[in-house]
A and B are shown apart, each in its own frame.
Chain A
Amino acid sequence: MSNIFDMERTMPSLTFQEKSLYGSLAAELIVYVPYFVYVPRHHATLGGIIATIVAITVVQIVVQSTIAIFSRNRLTDERDRLIAFRGYRAGYFALVTGILSALTLLWAHAVAGLINPNHAAIHFINVLFAVLVLAELVKTITQLVSYRMDA
């Protein structure tokens, strides 16, 4: 009997929420890393950003549907909601900090004449897109760390 209880205690398998978060992180890395590796070497385009948003949407639908199909217990409880709240809070701070930093850097670059006026708008959109992606990654990683530290 005690062996069963010891095994239970030391083997916390992943909840549906955790699996979903690992899926989200994988999808985000698969889509965003190639994009942000490609962009510094070429000019960012609005089409590139839209294609990336479409790609992340499709990949997330496929990944999350697959996880849902293979998960028997999709229960969300109070601890999941608390961890989700922590993730959104961390993501919000990352978003605000990122936007303020990005605006400051863009202003400094514009003043220094480092931004090509012909590409200023798309450059601005691309930087804000990067900040959004970063905030999303912070949210996901904070939630995953919370799950591992709390259980």
Chain B
Amino acid sequence: MTTGISNTIRELRAERAMTQQDLADLIGVTRQTVIAIELDKYSPSLETAFRIAHVFRVPLDQVFRYTPPTTRRR
């Protein structure tokens, strides 16, 4: 199940030639959690989200984007 939150972690890692394990070690989570975040299957805590942005030295909204669910009108 996707969360409505998308991210650019994969692209940011690729630009820096950083592996999932490298990022996981830097932010204090497992590689499997990085995989789940990249695939938009897990929304990280606010603290972890800020840590990711800090590692890449970019603002938070450059890493994560939220797409609200479309609301139906009668």
Contacts and interface: CB of A to CB of B under 8 A. Distances in A.
A78 B31 contact: no
A8 B41 contact: no
A56 B36 CA distance: 33
A5 B14 contact: yes
A78 B36 contact: no
Contact of B29 (A2, A75, A149, A150): A75
B47 to A, nearest CB: 8
A2 to B, nearest CB: 8
Interface string B19-42: 110000000111111011011011
Greatest chain B CB density within 10 A among A73, A147, A149, A151 is at A151
A12 interface: yes
Interface string A59-89: 0000000000000010101111000000000
B45 A78 contact: yes
A9 interface: yes
B36 A150 contact: yes
Contact of B30 (A2, A5, A8, A79): A79
Contact of B32 (A4, A78, A151): A151
Given A78-B44, A150-B42, A9 B35 contact: yes
17 contacts: A1-B17, A5-B14, A8-B19, A8-B20, A9-B10, A9-B38, A12-B31, A73-B30, A77-B28, A78-B29, A78-B45, A79-B30, A80-B30, A80-B33, A150-B41, A151-B41, A151-B42
The 5 closest A-B pairs by CB, nearest first: A77-B29, A151-B36, A79-B33, A12-B35, A15-B30
